[in-house]
Amino acid sequence: MALPEPFSTSLSLQMKLKTGTGTAGLPWYKEKYTVVDDERRVKDAEVLEGGLMDLGFTLYRYRMEVIEKEGKKGECIVRGSVEYELNEDAAANAALVSIEPLLAVMQIAADYLTQNYNTNPCRSIS
């Protein structure tokens, strides 16, 4: 079933991750997608609880965006950003903020789209 475009919604997703021995990471967190817009190819999410919230963060929001290259069919730019706020007494935890996990997710998506939708990986998939 295709969703009407532009499609925006707010939904919650709880991820429970098990970390292996010797693996740095957060055991679980709950996030809420605040924007899912297929027309603009933008997804925004906020962590609600667990994860970084347990380490003094009061806000952790990220955005994933796909921008089609003008005149370059099948090529696109993927942009990610992270916005955060934390309590003063947890200022040292700012070093935990990294775009790397977001880049890894975007790379997985790009690889999947390239393998499965080779004709134009930048198009909207509904």
d(CA 111, CA 105): 10
16 forms bridges with which residues in the sheet? 28
**Close Cβ partners of 18 (under 8 Å, ≥ 6 residues apart):** 27
Instruction: Evaluate whether 47 touches 68 at the Cβ level (below 8 Å).
Output: no
> Domain holding 38: CATH number?
3.30.530.20
User: Looking at per-residue confidence, does 102 or 37 come out higher?
Assistant: 37
* 124 in any annotated domain: no
Question: Measured between alpha carbons, how far apart are the two ends of the chain, in Å?
Answer: 8
* CA nearest to 48, candidates 25, 15, 17, 23: 15
Q: How many domains does the chain have?
A: 1
Question: What pTM was estimated for this model as a whole?
Answer: 0.68
Provide the residue range defining the domain that includes 48: 27-116
* 20 in any annotated domain: no
Task: Output the average pLDDT for the chain.
Answer: 77
pLDDT tens figures, 44-100: 999 999 989 999 999 999 999 988 888 887 788 888 899 999 999 999 999 999 888
